[in-house]
Structure 1
């Protein structure tokens, strides 16, 4: 293994975005949610495989180091969220946080925008799901635990490797794997249901850890798990190839050959359903191994179903006078 150590710390800048709305809707048939909120743009974690990297082009910035260091915050997100939930005809369904970039990356510690949004949802009994690879999510247990007790909150913890040497390169500024596993236990002990995401699984680099990650997650109290082979859309593919050449030159060609076998002969398969599962013998093998491990450790149950019947729209400005 040619892993040389952690990547250097980048100087981070944060700009301000002022969108007119904050809830994004999607109709993708292979995604389990139809709406999401992303309080932050760009991500300090620097995960080389992040499919959100190409979106930084909308800000005339690069999907590489700019994505990791030139970030944007949406401080009006809680107020916008409140206004959208007040709209006549709004139909309550769980809102997903962390679908694009991590809502608990380091700048959330000072900006507290994700927390502000959770406060809005908590006040009106609106369900929320959070996907993160940070133990900072435990900071907000004072909000999430009471919501979970009502069936309104669940957290998906992303654990892609348990090897700190690999984590230093593939997710250089994310919370360490051991702290993520500890966070699963903390959340579970507080009554918050936790799902574990083995996404992405990188063939020839992290795939050998599938069974161990599932076992560790189960021992920490996780309720369910899922996995996804690595995806390399658009500009992510050349960045990933450069990363391989730097940190795993001994197996770079083999890794890409395996990925292409999973993705129909290409670096990436954009088609619905197969983009999440992969295809071919390698994908079948990964899926079989994961399914056996999940069943063995009791993580093959259905995902958490959150309640929507408790939702009450936030009071409007007029209502707040009384």
Structure 2
């Protein structure tokens, strides 16, 4: 696999704990620990590569950006990022206030057995505390019991899954009645990723609430106060929702927190919500943005990249990752 070779240009060196690995001494120790585990060696090659990538990026502050710039496939990248984000979970599982919910989320993005394997290597690299290793083993057993150790946690329907993750204390097996009245498509993606192109090709004739268009209507620059723009967008959304009219919410929406507001509004009015995340390679994003009549300043795009959180299946009825090159 080409990506594996780019991540690890000298397999004999890492397998022997050599100095050719990127990262610091801790990275070398965790890679040695991971590759020394029989469970890792017994995995298919594609799974070994994915776990190896997570170990290599264990000290990286921005793993998503690194993998995006390398051209890693979206689902593969998000699997690795989910492992890194939750790598402390198995060794602290017994103290987590809502273990089921976070374990279910990990299973929809990655795999809990991968997470346990990475946590084991991490613990061994740090000295191999027997109590932590025992807790990781318990995490593995528990995720087997709740049906999400090596596979996504099943839900009765996408509506049941959506309601479970937005409703604390809800039974994950409750087959919620789907009473949705319309569909709201929430776009997500950096400027220049191709959101407008996707909408034109896939949602022709559907009303579009575009924050860019509203800025033009209201005479508000993207660097100024966005309060009036957002207020106008929400008022239009309420009008569509009252009439049970499907629409597209077109904005960058690069963080979960920002998406959650327009998703919550749609859900409160009984809409089905789909999030479409459109991506393009960095050079394509910058080229398309530069070709705009009014390009977004590069400094703003850089800030967006730093905060970027692609959507995951817990946020909506449906989540689609689209590579638009």
The structure with higher relative contact order (CA 8 Å, sep 6+) is: 1
Structure with bigger helix share is 2
Settle same-fold status: TM greater than 0.5.
no
* TM-score, length-scaled by structure 2: 0.30
